[in-house]
Chain A
Amino acid sequence: MFSSYIWGVITVCMYTSIIVVGLAVFTGFTGLVSLGHAAFVAIGAYTCAILTKTFELPFFVGVIGAALTSGLASLIIGYPTLRAKLRSDYFTITTLGFGEAMRVILENLEITNGARGIGGLGNYSHPITVFVILVIVLWVTKNYIFSRYGRMSISVREDPIAAEMAGINVVQVRLRALLFSAICAGIGGAIYAHYIRFIQPSMFISTQSTLYTAIVVAGGMGSITGPCIAACIFTMIPEVLRVADQWRMVAYGAVLVAIMVLRPSGIFGYKEITIRGMRNLVRRLRKQKLIGPEGVEIDE
């Protein structure tokens, strides 16, 4: 139906969505910013690559392994930094350091083949496989958000002190959300490794982490569908425009500042795109009353 190029772009959209959905649960629902998520993606990518190439295990074992190692790493980073209810900046800067440290480790380890990276990986990230994984991740995320864990996360984001007064363990809630997002990042990384079929440490630099956070912010913090759509937009625009890579990043930076200054709730804010929402929108447009979709506009 489509050419392999279009399938490729769709696959990129899908695995970026998997990574970004996890980050949306963390950043959007607990209000903490991570600038080291590329490191979790890297851990997932390398774990899966080593499991399938060196140990010749099947792909799904690699994906599970990637999820486990990324999750474990997130606990190691998260515990000391989230433990004291300090300002979130301590956490953000630690993740920044974590990202750098991870790159240095990957560049110097024997098993990761240093800066040269690992090539010749199996072509397992078929669009249908990725789609199935994406659907599973989205389904789990939706359930997570609407479970008591999700509601606890929202209450912590809105007011940590009030949440604690209501008997919520703030550290545990944040750590759980971080674990969830790291697992998603690990899975995304595993798919990424077997889609590109070659990985090296310079693919997982801090700019990449910033980009993931930028997608979540642009999509709207506190939304799941928003960041997914933003992930697709951010992936497809450079494909369509085919401009020089640096100017694309210049534009990203400017857009990010503009979003914060002009519309800090992101493209979709706290709203979700649902089938019912679409139906309501169509009905409203038919009635020629051009008011925005339902939901309270929350500016800050």
Chain B
Amino acid sequence: MELSLLFQTLITGLAIGGIYSLMAVGYSLVFSILNFSNFAYGGVIMLASFAGYYAMTLLGANVFVALIISMAAMAVVSLATERVAYSPLRKRNAPPMFFMISAMGLSIFIENLVYATIGAHFYAYPIIFEETTINIFGAALGKMDLFAIVFSIIAIAIMNYFINKTRTGIAIRAASYDSTVATLNGVNLSVVIGLVFVIAGAFAGISGMFLGIKYMAYPNMGWITNKAYIAAVIGGLGSLPGAIYGGVILGIVEAFVSVYITSTYRDVFSFAILIIILLIRPAGLFGKYLEEKV
């Protein structure tokens, strides 16, 4: 077995795994504080791929400006989804299931709105870096992939610092442990939740644009955004390190399955891994044993 192919597969897996991680982090962040599956997140990621595409083609922005535009736009969209679809439920203390169904409705709404207005075409991004690759121990790494990996790591590091070291971050963590007690201690829950959605939206902005560059922008990207949810479950729902590792593991496993076993059944293997991990560790790899709040 050639070592270079092994290494190449690992790098390909890391490149896509990094994007999965970003998506899973945004999704898991919302989960950790509101305790529900934000299925509208896939739709926001899809919108991000279009935001990035239009920023680059219509406005002629370069990749950094486009990333910032996409992040800002998705932060607004994400906050809007919270205010429209979840805020009224939160005020009524509705069970998580209602949040989830509301999110589902929102996801259908966003996806089909794009279908109906922009259409079901594939939109390819303009070329950002020339098609050159960097050689690392005989394995080729595309410049765009390298950029995506580095940018993902920086984004996650900043988020990590923010969550763990700042006062607002502590408020977010406190609210995710127990929102009632956090409120009693003077945390403005509405602001904290809004902020979490803004951060999640920014992450959707980054990951959506990278996905668009890699796979083009089109309305039914759902099959790939679903991977974010699967990665989060593999890592353990509600755990941020879990989401990061879950994404990387899923990306690497998929790359190895496509190269060494079969590329047509790749998605079946991701699903099989999900089932196997749930059989061995029902709470996911890093999951807290979270029972449903009654």
Contact = CB atoms under 8 A, between A and B. Distances in A.
A257 B233 CA distance: 25
Interface string A201-223: 00000110010011001000000
Contacts, number: 168
Contact of A89 (B37, B85, B101): B37
A245 B5 CA distance: 46
B135 interface: no
Given A81-B278, A97-B274, A207 B108 contact: yes
Contacts of A244: 116
A217 B109 contact: no
A210 B104 CA distance: 7
B88 interface: yes
Contact of B292 (A81, A88, A249, A264): A88
B115 A87 contact: no
A256 interface: yes
B interface: dominant SS? helix
B185 interface: no
Contacts of A81: 275, 278
B108 A104 contact: no
B113 interface: yes
A250 B282 CA distance: 36
Interface in A77-104: 77, 80-81, 83-90, 92-94, 96-98, 100-101, 104
B226 interface: yes
A105 B37 contact: no
Q: Chain A contact residues: over half helix, strand or loop, or mixed?
A: helix
A133 B268 CA distance: 33
Counting from the closest, the 8 A-B pairs by CB-CB distance are: A256-B105, A253-B109, A84-B282, A253-B108, A246-B116, A249-B112, A101-B271, A260-B102
B229 A257 contact: no
Given A80-B279, A93-B233, A96-B226, A253 B110 contact: yes
A46 to B, nearest CB: 16
Interface of A: 31, 33, 35, 77, 80-81, 83-90, 92-94, 96-98, 100-101, 104-105, 108, 159-161, 206-207, 210, 213-214, 217, 244, 246-247, 249-250, 252-257, 259-261, 264, 299-300
Given A83-B282, A96-B226, A244-B116, A260 B292 contact: no
B106 A257 contact: yes
B276 to A, nearest CB: 8
Given A83-B282, A94-B233, 5 more contacts: A86-B283, A86-B291, A97-B270, A256-B105, A260-B99
A75 to B, nearest CB: 13
Contact of B37 (A92, A214, A261): A92
A37 B65 CA distance: 42
B101 A256 contact: yes
A161 B294 contact: yes
